[in-house]
Amino acid sequence: MDAAIYRRLDELFREGTGEHCFRRRPNYDRIAADLPRATVDIVLYGAIRSTHSGIDDRTSRSGHSDRHADQRSRGMITGTGRVALVTGASSGIGAATARLLAARGMHVVVNYLHSEAAAEEVVAGIGEAGGHALAVQADVRETAAVENLIEQVQARWGGVDVLVHNALTPYAIKSFQDMTWKELGGKLDDEMRAAFTVTKAVLPTMTAQRWGRIIYIGTGLSRRPREGMIALGTAKAALAQFARYLAQELGPWAITVNVVEPGPVEDTRIAGVLDDENKRRQVAATPLGRLALTGDVAQAVAFYASEDNAFMTGTTAAVNGGMAMY
């Protein structure tokens, strides 16, 4: 690596930090073409931290050291140092996902609505395992609350790189004939308002840095109806199509948008209300012979959230042991 190129990059970053500053430079392409791939990655994320002598760490305009560059310079490319927001991470699938993403080296925002103690417990567990997490209360249906959450994250770690929208807003379990418009329309409104609000809030960072991962947690019930689940199934079907439209629109910014659709998940709140006979029937209908665990769902999310997933967008992962095949 030519020391002169490092010096030139160093100068560029003294003038202003980040991809925007760098990309605006007329000689960006020429310089970047000369650099090893890993160094270009470092530069694109707004800082230079090199094992070469004479190159110091750089901090961003906001004063935060660049976490991606830091990790990359140590050869850890996959997902490390990214900031992931997991909505509804105080229990169930969200908590398992937060733990796994943190174990993979991400800084994780554990969002919750009411369960502060449970969210803090998730954060403490991540901390004990050597990871980084922050619990932030916010009703994801409320614009002001979500903006406040994003401000807290920015102050701590910078913008959100990975959004896992998992929060489960309440819904009525009943037949269409017993259902009121308030119940059905209310669930549709909650589901889409939450997805709209959190997505709007994370996009400015993702589009600016031309990298992002968005994962929505859907459900197999959006495709295969089950008695009493019309409100949830219809709302999640809307969410899945919303994801595909976003995948189309956001592709040019290298933002991937995917959906994970679990079948029934064993270790969650809702599983606690399933009777044994119901559970037995569901297991019997599952080729892999058991119900999903929260960790199974988290693994699929973690793949979509990682750098490994550079080219899958607008897709759906069915995490259901083969109960439904699509």
CB of 233 to ligand NAP, least distance (A): 10
- Site mask, ligand NAP, residues 271-300, x = CB under 6 A? x-----------------------------
CB of 79 to ligand NAP, least distance (A): 21
Candidates 134-142, 174-182, 243-251, 300-308: pick the segment binding ligand NAP (CB under 6 A). Answer: 134-142
Does residue number 229 form part of the binding site for ligand NAP (CB under 6 A)? no
Is 268 a residue that touches ligand NAP (CB under 6 A)?
yes
Distance CA 64, CA 71 (A): 14
Distance of CA 166 to the CA centre of its chain: 9
Task: Determine the residue with CB nearest ligand NAP.
Answer: 92
At 84, give phi and psi (nearest 5°).
-115, 130
User: Does 168 sit near ligand NAP (CB under 6 A)?
Assistant: yes
Nearer to ligand NAP, 9 or 134 (CB): 134
Nearest residue to 213 via CA among 256, 244, 250 = 256
Buried b (16+ CB within 10 A) or exposed e, 241-264: ebbbebbeebeeeebbbbbbbbbb
Q: Does 219 bind ligand NAP (CB under 6 A)?
A: yes
Residue among 17, 71, 73, 166 that touches ligand NAP (CB under 6 A): 166
Q: Which of 141, 160, 161, 213 binds ligand NAP (CB under 6 A)?
A: 141
Q: How far apart are CA 159 and CA 20, in angstroms?
A: 15
Contacts to ligand NAP from residues 45-104, by CB under 6 A: 87-94
CA distance 100 to 226: 30
Residue with smaller CB distance to ligand NAP, 44 or 95: 95
Query: Would you say 25 or 193 has its CB closer to ligand NAP?
Result: 193
Give the span between the Cα atoms of 203 and 162, in whole angstroms.
Answer: 10
Would you tell me how many other CB atoms lie within 10 Å of the CB of residue 293? 18
User: Which is it for the CA torsion 293, 295, 301, 307, positive or negative?
Assistant: negative
Considering the complex, what minimum distance in angstroms separates the CB of residue 277 from ligand NAP?
Answer: 17
CB 164 within 8 A of CB 202: no
In the region spanning residues 186 to 215, those forming contacts with ligand NAP, defined by CB under 6 A, are none
Regarding 270 and contact with ligand NAP (CB under 6 A), the answer is: yes
Residue 100 region, left (φ>0) first, then alpha (ψ -120 to 50), else beta?
alpha
**Residue type for position 46:** G
Does 18 engage in binding with ligand NAP (CB under 6 A)? no
Size of the site for ligand NAP (CB under 6 A): 29
Round to whole Å and give the CA distance between 191 and 95.
19
Q: Which of 48, 69, 84, 113 binds ligand NAP (CB under 6 A)?
A: 113
What residues line the site for ligand NAP (CB under 6 A)?
A: 87-94, 111-115, 139-141, 166-169, 217, 219, 262, 264-265, 268-271
